[in-house]
Amino acid sequence: MKNFELGAVQERFADIVWANEPIASGELAKLCASELKWKRPTTYTVLRKLCEKGLLRNEDGIVSSIVSQKEYYSTKSEQVVEESFKGSLPAFVAAFISKKSLSQEEAAEIQKMIDSFRENG
């Protein structure tokens, strides 16, 4: 997947689209007015930019994603691990849990993922 450089505002806008897609552009402008306190031109400017980046599309006034929310955040996570931890997932996890303790439920969920990976490759 393409490397998307989104600012916090663009990411928040994309989250709104992902939560409501497919959505009419006029309805999206109303949502952005309510949730982000944006005027209509701001919504359309950000929409145009995210369409140009290849993240969203606006066809016949209906806005939808080209890249899913899961794909976007998965790629973003991979980039953090690669850039900040030299690609080492164990180093990332160690840094993460050194600042935030895991609950028993979270540890069990992570263990299930590891077990599943071992079983399924």
Tens of pLDDT, residue by residue over 33-86, are 999 999 999 999 999 999 999 999 999 999 999 999 999 999 888 988 888 999
Higher pLDDT, 75 or 23: 23
Q: Check pLDDT > 70 for residue 1.
A: no
pLDDT for the residue 40: 97
Range with the lowest mean pLDDT among 12-21, 60-69, 98-107?
A: 98-107
Domains of the chain: 8-69 (1.10.10.10), 88-121 (no CATH)
Structure tokens at 71: 């794909």
Q: Give the Cα separation of 50 and 57 in Å (integer).
A: 8
CB 62 within 8 A of CB 23: yes
Q: Which of 84, 71, 10, 72 is nearest to 45 (CA)?
A: 10
